[in-house]
A = this chain, B = another copy of it.
Amino acid sequence: MNQVICTVDVVLLTIRQDALMTALIRREHAPHAGDLALPGGYIHADKDDSVYASAMRVITAKAGIVPPYLEQLGTFSGPGRDPRGWSVSIAHYALVPFEIIDQAKGSQVQLVPVDKLCALPFDHAQIVGMAVERLRNKSQYSSLPCFLAGESFTLPQLQRIYEVLMGETLNKVSFRRKITEMDMLEPVEGRFEAAGAHRPAQVYTLKPGSRQHLMLLQRGL
């Protein structure tokens, strides 16, 4: 058996000013030292309980946060993707509300809109592309976008997040029917937010069960 380099990379996604952004970090070491790249690193056999734990450790160390949602995306592998040798990156994506990234202490990340990425080292552009595609697909029939919405939010704010991800305007009545069908939200008693010329909007939060499992729609949005 020849040596295989075994790493994790994480596509940390958030929404700022109605744009889907990914977190990049300037690389400290060769190869590609000084370039912006996905946060990633070796699996640490002496510290990590699993590949999932490796990804969580990397993102916590480099972005200073614990992401509310982290899922494995797939592997990227082969003899040519890393000059150090045959390598496999077990890629993940994480969803984080912008406020959490913004308030993180000691974060080294730079946010870049996913549709305006500069050239990235390795096959990182391809990894980001797959993460964005997975997120957009799952947004059509699940509660996944809620993990980008923060601790509490109004329905118009949540609808805007779905619209940013799906790249289209959604019908308000049908959006609310779908959200009701997923049964994932509960109102925060007595909390309303001003909403321009409209009457104040009820503030909601995720039901505890919806933080553990994705809620699914029978039919997409």
Contact = CB atoms under 8 A, between A and B. Distances in A.
A4 B43 contact: yes
Given A6-B4, A42-B1, A43-B4, A78 B49 contact: yes
A8 B84 CA distance: 22
Interface in A1-26: 1-4, 6
A38 interface: no
A86 interface: yes
User: How many copies are assembled?
Assistant: 2
Nearest to A43: B4
A48 B79 CA distance: 8
A121 to B, nearest CB: 19
Interface string A68-98: 0000101101110000011010100000000
A113 to B, nearest CB: 29
A86 B45 contact: yes
B46 A2 contact: yes
Interface residues of A, number: 28
Nearest to A78: B50
A44 B2 contact: yes
Contacts of A37: none
A213 interface: no
Contacts of A50: 77-78
Contacts of A74: 72
Interface string A182-221: 0000000000000000000000000000000000001110
Nearest to A4: B6
B88 A6 contact: yes
Interface of A: 1-4, 6, 42-46, 48-52, 72, 74-75, 77-79, 85-86, 88, 90, 218-220
